[in-house]
Amino acid sequence: MARKVKENDNLPKAKLDKEAFNKTTRLFSYIGEHKWKLYLGTLFLLLTGGTALLFPYMLGGLIKTVEQKKFDQINTIGVYLILVLTLQSFFSYFRVYLFVNYTENTLAKLRQAVYSHMITLPMTFFAQKRVGDLNSRMSADIAMIQDTLTTTIAEFLRQFILIIGGIILLLVISPKLTFLMLAIVPVVAVAAVVFGRFIRKTSRSVQEKISESNTIIEETLQGITNVKAFANEFFENNRYKKSTLEIVRIAIQGGKYRGGFASFIIFCLFGAIVAVIWYGVILASHDQLLIGDLISFILYSAFVGASFGGIAELYAQIQKAIGAIERVFEILDEKPEQLEIHEARPLEHRIEGNVVFQNVAFTYPSRQEIQVLKDVTINANKGETIAVVGPSGSGKSTLVALLLRFYDPESGTILIDGKNEKDYSLTDLRNNMAIVPQDVILFGGSIKENIAYGKPNATIAEIAEAARKANALDFIDSFPEKFETLVGERGIKLSGGQRQRIAIARAVLKDPSILILDEATSSLDSESERVVQEALDKLMVGRTSFVIAHRLSTIRKADKIIVIDKGTVRESGTHEQLMEQESGLYRSLSRMQTELI
């Protein structure tokens, strides 16, 4: 199976300026009581770099004992080398452990903060953002931050220590040889990084083309009925053939680059090492350098060269991480709704359900050129059923969104029990309402958990009673696991009618004062519609109900029918009253539906 291109590979980079630095420092406000782990981990990081720099020096000293015929020091230096390696292992272990520990605790707090903030943001935010983008910020962006805090920053600092410390020690050993090394090795190392990055980009192109070819296979097999019905086997085969030939072309091109890269590494990098050793031997032959010092110099050169090559890649990763931090904090900088988030508890203020839309006008922030509602006035008394009908795009669902305060009117007022809707707390207001939508989305848990969403602290007896009132108990009892039956992702294991009845049971359990039915039966077959409608009729008793209807046959018994067209109320009355209007829109819509049956 082809390797997928990592999401992190495609994350954009950020400039390392003052603004980016300030945003990055905000991240450390989530460390809290784990700050000491960062400080101690940094100390171990410095000790790791220091012991790493000691190793080449001591190894050179071991070789110099032979040159200087100090054989009695061989064992002593050997023991010190083992001690240094032991200390480095010890420091490395605690450095990694402490960095992982503080990172995971910090990111857990960040994830919780972002999620809890995001779900309190208004609908205007979600209307302008894609779910995939938000999910990417919570997954790919935070994963990038995690990698950076855990390893990248520590490795960057370690490489920086090795470069500075290595160059200082190289100058101590031999200034002449150091200048030659600095003229060759870093340039070759950086060139190798740039070349390597270009090759990885080509490899990504190959993986993307493979992914495209796999998409062709998936589309063809999913639509195999259409392929055969249209006799398009040749067309699909040709499409896949073109895709695979493109893979071959890019892969061969990538092979040329990899071959050139291998030749470059062999000739330039090893050539640079040969040049340093060659010049070092010349200095040694003139008694300007000991062989032991030359060995130390070569090891330090390897450290510095590798660090030069690695630090460029690490810098690019840090840039990506800062970009990820900026995108995450963009969510945290959004202004949330004024919610009172608390555990489930009885309603503090139960409204009666008298609702008035008074000269309401509204325009969606993302579509300023179109006014969706214009001077809408609707009166609903406690316990009445108000049906809202009209052509698609007339503004029916927008009324519901305003009632739930997903948005606020740009002009006009919505009164509930004579009080401006804005004067209620959002939490109390929405706790007094329940909605049964057309497209019911269930969570991936059990039937019990989905019904209890309307009242999280409900008993199993209350859940069962709500299911009975929603005409859902019979099909639930037919499952082996009954209320513990898992509904699958988005409720995929249940039929449309079953999902609707679970949603109704959820609303029954919530026991709202105001009920909203947004085309709750429009996508069901006749039998499912009958069962669901029976449950809805029971649910509406004694509540103020707003019914957005597509099938006009389902709202004939409504106390009042509001006909909306192009954002304005065109007609209002009972079914009988509206049918008496010769040129009325409701009568026209009703006749049209009757003719289609």
The predicted structure's pLDDT at residue 2? 37
CA distances from residue 29 to 39, 42, 252, 380, 458 in whole angstroms, order as listed: 14, 17, 49, 50, 38
Q: pTM surpassing 0.85?
A: no
CA distances from residue 182 to 47, 176, 178, 189, 378 in whole angstroms, order as listed: 26, 10, 6, 11, 81
Q: Mention every residue, 6+ apart, whose C-beta is less than 8 A from residue 522.
A: 438, 549, 550, 551
> Tokens in use for 300?
């330090």
Average pLDDT over residues 289-300: 77
Residue-wise DSSP of 333-354: TSPPP----------SS-----
Angle at 240 between CA 236 and CA 246, to 5 degrees: 150
The predicted structure's pLDDT at residue 299? 79
**Smallest Cα–Cα separation from 386: which of 206, 190, 549?**
549
pLDDT in tens, 232-256: 788 888 888 888 888 788 778 777 7
Half-sphere exposure of 517 (CA within 13 A, CB side): 31
Give the end-to-end CA distance of the chain in Å, rounded to a whole number.
51
Going by their DSSP bridges, the two strands 560-565 and 568-573 should be labelled as: antiparallel
Q: What are phi and psi of 513, to 5 degrees?
A: -85, -30
Residue 3: which pLDDT band, with cuts at 50, 70 and 90? very low
Average pLDDT over residues 85-107: 85
Spatial separation of the C-alpha atoms in residues 368 and 427, rounded to whole Å: 28
Ordered alpha helix ranges (H), 10-70:
18-27, 35-67
A 10 A CB-CB count for 497 gives 21
Spatial separation of the C-alpha atoms in residues 161 and 168, rounded to whole Å: 11
The residue to which tokens 């939490």 are assigned: 427
The predicted structure's pLDDT at residue 593? 63
Residue 10 has pLDDT above 60, yes or no: no
pLDDT in tens, 362-372: 888 777 778 88
Q: In percent, how much of the chain has pLDDT > 70?
A: 87
The residue to which tokens 């086997």 are assigned: 233
> Tokens in use for 23?
């945003």
Is residue 2 within 8 Å of 251, Cβ to Cβ? no
**Smallest Cα–Cα separation from 100: which of 52, 40, 140?**
40
Q: Mention every residue, 6+ apart, whose C-beta is less than 8 A from residue 240.
A: 213, 216, 217, 220
Residue 389: which pLDDT band, with cuts at 50, 70 and 90? confident
The predicted structure's pLDDT at residue 522? 60
